[in-house]
Amino acid sequence: MLAGFQGDSLTDPTSIAACAKHYCGYGFSEGGRDYNTTYITEPVLRNVVLKPFKAAKDAGALTFMSAFNDLDGIPATGNEFTLKQILRKEWKFDGFVVSDWGSVPEMVVHGFANDAKDAAAKAINAGVDMEMATTTYFDNIKNLLEDKKITQEEIDNSVRNILRVKFKLGLFDNPFISPEAQKSILDPASLDHARKVARESAVLLKNNNKTLPLSTDIKSVAVIGPLADKARDQLGTWCFDGKAENSVTPLTAIKDLLGEKKVNFVAGLDYSRDKKTGQFSKALATAKKSDAVIFFGGEEWILSGEGQCRGEINLPGAQSELISELAKTGKPVILVIMAGRPLAIGNELNEADAVLYAWHGGTMAGPAIADLLFGKESPSGKLPVTFVKGSGQIPFYYYRNNTGRPGTQQSWTPIDSIPVENPQSSLGYKSFQLDYGFTPLFPFGYGLSYTSFTYSDLSLSALSMKTNGSIVVSAKVANTGDMDGDEIVQLYIRDRVGSITRPIRELKGFRRVHLKKGESAVVEFTLNGEDLAFFNGKITATEPGKFDTWIGTNSNEGLHGEFIVE
């Protein structure tokens, strides 16, 4: 991401300063509601929340943005601990910090500042160099200086940070971008790359009886669903410069591939939240006269992004009802989900023969999806987040702690199997939910392919290492299927015993490997002592002890090995 924004040279005509946001804890808000309160222990803050920000700083991010939320009672825009202690002193960040939109005066609403003047003082003293959108700095900074609420040194430091970034970008030598540099946005090479990115992002979640890929020789296919031909929706949220007329929809791409005569289209629903069933009969008739049904469902773009939180994360509108009716036709049903968030699709998963999660794939989403549905390419994407069975299972993440009573298949008592007036002592006393159990709908890192990959020959370069040493973990990965494809090989570890309890698994590396049919490769990962370090409440250190490691295809599967850190 940083390389894409900032380019090979900061003075290039299309280079812009990347901004790491929202710093920090914004994604941990209570109830998953934007702008909401966060309470995060320092070990979780340092071991989880700050890691991507530290990676962004190390990769050269020129700016950081302070978040809307408060963190343990201190708004992020007035938080000296995160902005001065961690970002400046510990990480030696020398770019500038900008507030989020209006987050300085919002500290008054938080109850952290008395008025706009007080908010400006607290933001400046905390280390926010630039205010976005609002004018509390402009309106109050002179009086704050006269009242000695801020110092000239604070002002000078902020100005230095801002000027330093502007000099790096070459803005004083060339403040304007050349219009010629923008003409390549929709050129063939860029569109091909957009198609590749959309294709590699899609995740195949289910493929019963090799329903996919469909043959291009198919006699007819029914294309149904509210997102089959919605050019703007596939661009996703926060896309102010994207134009619907530049998007190629799935319907258009499938028609281009098969020819219009083979494609029978009925939307069934006018938009994703549509609850009207008036088109159902026409959709069912279309399905019955076709050899297969491709249903494009999910969420329209406006349901995703900032401020678009949902309490229930099922498919909106009457989509589930339509999918259920289509399944009754007996025709193969392929479900393609286009959405900006993971959705609880357990019921739809049971109804469909195949499920492809395509997200909001952008301008070239249609051709990318067509490539996958008809086997021009094999799906290779893996889930970057755990998929839950329902919103009541949130938060659920792969790196969770084990607890003293972890749920097991033997201990779980499904709610419908509990006899009336059942004795209390027979319910297991383990960590699970009666209705959801103890496993997610899909684990982190999950994703299927049209070919098959076999893992073997796990090898460790040593069975022990020093805390400042390293160890190489490798495995052989073979394409044992009938099609060329990419596999994303994943490395996980577990620190069995720590001075604070450690997660059951942590992702420590991944590799995308392209293997032709019948081909194999040895995939290696190097684990350094610092990869095993964690903040234990006092210091960040690598603690001696026993470790597990896995190389596999997702966070739940893999070849297992063990080593010791001395």
pLDDT tens digits, residue range 491-527? 999 999 999 999 999 999 999 999 999 999 999 999 9
Collapsing DSSP states into helix, strand and coil, what is residue 256?
A: helix
d(CA 252, CA 247): 10
Say how far residue 30 (Cα) sits from the centre of its chain: 18
What the chain holds in terms of domains, given with CATH numbers, is: 2-168 (3.20.20.300), 188-373 (3.40.50.1700), 397-439 (no CATH), 453-565 (2.60.40.10)
pLDDT tens-digit map of 330-355: 999 999 999 999 999 999 999 999 99
Computed over every residue of the chain, the mean pLDDT equals 96
Asked whether 366 and 394 are in contact (CB, 8 A), the reply is: no
Residue 238: name the closest of 362, 369, 81, 124 by CA: 362
Is the pLDDT at 7 greater than 70, yes or no? yes
Residue 426 has pLDDT above 80, yes or no: no
Confidence band, pLDDT 50/70/90 cuts, at residue 429: confident
Using 50, 70 and 90 to split pLDDT, how confident is the model at 241?
confident
| Arithmetic mean of pLDDT, 466-476 | 97
- Is it the case that residue 21 has pLDDT exceeding 80? yes
**For residues 454 and 450, what is the distance between their CA atoms, to the nearest angstrom?**
13
Q: Phi and psi dihedrals of 447, rounded to 5?
A: 175, 135
Count helices and strands in the chain by DSSP H and E runs: 14, 21
Q: How confident is the model at residue 151 (pLDDT cuts 50, 70, 90)?
A: very high
**Range list of H helices, 328-463:** 346-351, 365-373
- Tokens matching residue 4: 């894409």
Listed in sequence order, the DSSP H helices in 169-201 are 188-201
Instruction: Categorize the per-residue pLDDT at 182 as very low, low, confident or very high, splitting at 50, 70 and 90.
Output: low
Contact residues for 130 (Cβ-Cβ < 8 A; gap 6+): 96, 97, 98, 99, 158, 162
Q: Catalytic residue positions?
A: 100
Give the model's pLDDT for residue 423: 82
Distance CA 350, CA 358 (A): 18
User: What pLDDT shows up at residue 25?
Assistant: 95
> Residue 13 has what pLDDT?
81
User: What is the average per-residue pLDDT within 408-436?
Assistant: 86
Q: What is the pLDDT of residue 206?
A: 98
SS3 350: helix
